[in-house]
Structure 1
Amino acid sequence: MEKTTSSSSTPRTKAKASDLQMSFSGFDGLTEDLLFNILARLPAQSFASAACVTKSWNHICKRVLSRPKLASALSLKPSLPEALDDVFDKVLSGPIRPHFALANVGSGFELPMTLKLIRKKLGCLVPVIVSVANGIIGRDALTDELKEVKWGALFSGLSDEAYARNINEGIVLTIGYFPGLEVDVIPLVRPSKTPLESAIDKFVMDVKEYSASVSSCSFPVGIILFGEGSSDMKPVMEKLDYAMPNDTFIVGDERGCFTYRSGNDSRNAHARAGYLEAVALVFAQDRDRSSATGEIKFHVALSNGVLPVGGKYKTVSVRTSSTESSTWLTARRDGQREILDGQRILNEINNELPNQIEPPDLYIGVSKQRKISIGEEKPSHRSFISFHGVVGGDEEYLYVDGIGIRTGDIFQFYHSDCNTAIATSAKVHDELKKIKLEANSLKGDVDNATNVFGGFVFACYGRGETFFGRPNVDSSPFSENFRGVPFSGLFCGGELARSCSTVNDEFERESCVSCCLHVYSTVYLVMSYTPPVEY
């Protein structure tokens, strides 16, 4: 199934259209409304053929696809072909013309083969991203049962042999049709011997250039971003946050494995092009969109799952290991002169932690003030919070994940907290309910009512049933508010989100400080549609 109607000129499609025309020749006496109801019930491939039968049928098919659509399905069958058959039967069971596809799979499914089979089904013009996830969220293709499935964590330090003994099979596939928007995949490629900062600058400019090429705006509507497991996504998000206006949403998975294909072959990076750091599914306004298209809106909310503990510290000495992507540091407690090593810092924090059977995961939230620019432009000052996982400490240093910390930076400890996660999940539930109530308030005007037609969930791998003690907590704010509405999700190695409407962290209440990479959180991307006003 191709993204454009150019495929209708192929002999095979012409034959199908001819067969349909003969089969439905008796439909000529039907009213347009009756024919609309019939065509709207066809599966996607039959619908695509029906659109080629006559001009009048094509016109009705355009009416059927006048509104956006998201279709998603999950399968846990251990055979990739069988799992794909199940999810395709579900997502292509009704009329849709895919503008993009996202597939999240377990490590037991090979990425290249998954991509190949998806492209064979959807066509080479549909942009596709396939990523290996820590777990998947969605509705079973056969039973429609809501499932949150977690597997062994990626990049956890296990050997390849250990992974081989813990193969995970399963897939959640999502395809979308978004009239009025253009969608494509933009890669972040770092050529050999090229500084990462230069590669990020080019990536940001590529995103802006793509948007400018398809719309009247040089900024996209939004980005779903997937980072490669060994890449540092902090500078990527910092640059994107700086370069994009506040109403451009950015969500995604910080760490994973992925492959992709763009609808434009020139954007498909090959091995000789350099190291693939990340890929972005970019949504931009279509400059040729009709005034009768209506408006798609994206809403972002976040359930936070960490709580601050202890006082603030200021870094005194900082050592960085770029190869291991880690930082060693000493610090002073705020208002004190004594320099503390890692063990003494951890002793102070452990004394202030609540008593728990299992010790919580620890992070430091580092307040950073940096100069940021794109290319040759004049740098601007930016303030943001960056989280780093605490690895340990000894009589010399405190050891944390990631780089980018400098001498003089202020930080505070945070720990994972189930009660905080439950409370903020309830706030997200209420936030999404407001969108639902807005739609219900207009239900008397069915033709012009706002409706939610789909969503995505990006949950921290540390959450899920083992964290909450009961299943499906992370998906419940969406599934309970929008029953029957398609959505999908994955368990991430780090949650990317900006422009969040629901965040419980103190630093997010300061408009001048941003946080784009989160820990122990769940990010919700909700899509709603408002039809054009008819006068």
Structure 2
Amino acid sequence: MRWSNFLSTRPSLEAAVKEVAEKSLELLGATADLGLVFISSAFTSEYPRLMPLLKEYLPETIMIGCGGGGIVGMDENDKPEEVEQQIAISLSLAHLPEVAIKAFHISAGHLPDLDSSPDLWCNLIGVPTADQPQFIILADPFFTKINDLLQGLDYAYPNSPKVGGLASSGLNGQGTGLFCEGRFYQEGTVGVSLSGKIILETIVAQGCRPIGKPYRVTEVERNIVLELEELVSVDQVVSDGIKQSPLEALQNLVQNLNEKDRKLAENSLFIGIVRDEFKQNLEQGDFLIRNLIGVDPKAGAIAIGDRVRTGQRIQFHLRDANTSAEDLEMLLQRYQREVGLETISTNNAAGLMFSCMGRGEGLYGKPNFDSRLFSSYLNVPISGFFCNGEIGPVGGSTFLHGYTSVFGICREPS
């Protein structure tokens, strides 16, 4: 297995495609079986020309990609670069001699019903469950059934990792685009499944830290939480069994925050939903972060940007630049400990970065932060784009996220 990437900022589409194709092929030094291309929305009017131009250099390569308001790739000094709101094309190539590659495009009207059997979902993708595929998924931001697609794929392929993002446009609101096997699409989802001698591992950096104590939800209607029970630990209710409204819990929490966090809570307060009902020692990464979308002062209820069940544990969270940086570094350190990096080298692995449009220089105040922090732990070529929503797993299920950086690490089995 070999991987390469190159990023071009040439203003001419022909010149940029020529540069990324020739440089990536040179760096790869082998036959390119798979290509992943990410192109700036500054090229929107020329999207239909991208695939034919690439096919001139890579006629046999299976290829998918999309447009983005910001593009991630390796510069001429072999360092990760995040080009935001400017012209750029990033091309990753992979030589995968013992990997079966299947590209696909799916329209909303072709999705099976969520009550359908797994076989229908497998037929949709064209890959049996037994192949244990791993997925890279890119979707149109107006694809309203993206959550249905992710649930269906989890149902059919429960042990298969899935990463990706929603295509994005620039500040001028220009259109988005998807690319798959020589064709340009403006709707639906494109993706690729990888089966065989390859591992796709994921890091989902949601950029939040928990504050206060965890609570158990005792009364809820869909996404409206009506009553909570405070926990002194992750699984033990306080001895007097006091229940309270979510608004009371929030008011008590804010009163006990320091001045900096109290100010941060005015605009950057979120809810973390625990995904593993049996885990006792909760850590960052155990929560699915969702927006706090409303408060009902009369009822004392809060509305969360996802459905919640009675008995689930939740905890309030805060997000800022420092927290986002610390969260990503902690997850990278954990990955380093658990996987070990001795089997990962510059050419036999790759990183994929799917980052929210709300991160990048606007969050950190300086460019290239997430990609170069990733690179400081894994010295592999990295590519990706800034998304309208990020796709990645939390607690064994795949979700569409916001304000997140999702990384996929493609490598050979040890």
Q: TM-score range, shorter-chain basis? A: 0.7 to 0.9
Q: TM-score scaled by structure 2?
A: 0.73
State the match for 2:358 in structure 1: 462
In structure 1, how many angstroms separate the alpha carbons of the residues matched to 2:106 and 2:259?
A: 44
Check if 1:250 corresponds to 2:162: yes
Q: 2:153 aligns with which of 219, 240, 245?
A: 240
* Equivalence for 2:325: 422
User: What pairs with 1:246-395 in structure 2 (closer than 5 Å)?
Assistant: 246=159, 248-254=160-166, 256=168, 257-262=176-181, 276=188, 278-285=189-196, 295-310=197-212, 311-312=214-215, 314=217, 316=219, 318=221, 329-334=224-229, 347=251, 350-351=254-255, 354-356=258-260, 359-366=266-273, 386-395=288-297
Q: Which SS does the other structure have where 1:92 is aligned?
A: helix
TM-score by length of 1: 0.58
Pair 1:225–1:203, CA change in 2 (3 A): farther
Distance 1:303 1:456 in 2: 13
Q: Which moved more, 1:168-177 or 1:450-459?
A: 450-459
Residue 194 of structure 2 aligns with an amino acid whose one-letter code is F
Q: Which residue of 2 aligns with 1:183?
A: 101
Deviation at 1:84, TM superposition (A): 1.9
| 1:356-505 mapped onto 2 (5 Å cutoff) | 356=260, 359-366=266-273, 386-395=288-297, 398-401=302-305, 404-405=307-308, 411-430=314-333, 431-432=335-336, 437-439=341-343, 452-483=348-379, 485-498=380-393
Contact kept in structure 1, 2:71 and 2:385, CA below 8 Å: yes
Larger Rg: 1
Structure 1 runs not aligned, ≥5 long: 1-67, 152-167, 286-294, 320-326, 371-383, 441-448, 501-507
SS in 2 for 1:211: coil
8 Å Cα contact 1:362/1:416 also seen in 2: yes
Q: Which of the residues 79, 89, 94 maps onto 1:171?
A: 89
* Paired residues of 1:307 and 1:420 also in contact (CA < 8 A): yes
CA RMSD, Structure 1 to Structure 2 (Å): 4.1
Aligned residues: 377
**Identical columns (%):** 24
Determine which structure has greater relative contact order: mean sequence separation of CA pairs < 8 Å that are 6+ residues apart, divided by chain length: 2
Contact 1:200/1:236, CA 8 A, preserved across alignment: no
Equivalent residue number for residue 119 of structure 1:
55
Instruction: Output one character per residue of 1:263-320: Cα deviation in whole Å (capped at 9) or x when no partner.
Output: 8xxxx8989xxx62x32211123xxxxxxxxx4443333444212234536385647x
1:103 aligns with 2:103: no
* Greater percentage in helix: 1
Conservation of the 8 A alpha-carbon contact between 1:452 and 1:482:
no
Quick check: 1:432–1:477 contact (8 Å CA) kept in 2? no
Following the alignment from structure 1 to structure 2, what is the Cα–Cα distance between the partners of residues 426 and 520?
16
Structure 2 unmatched runs, 5+? 169-175, 230-240, 278-285
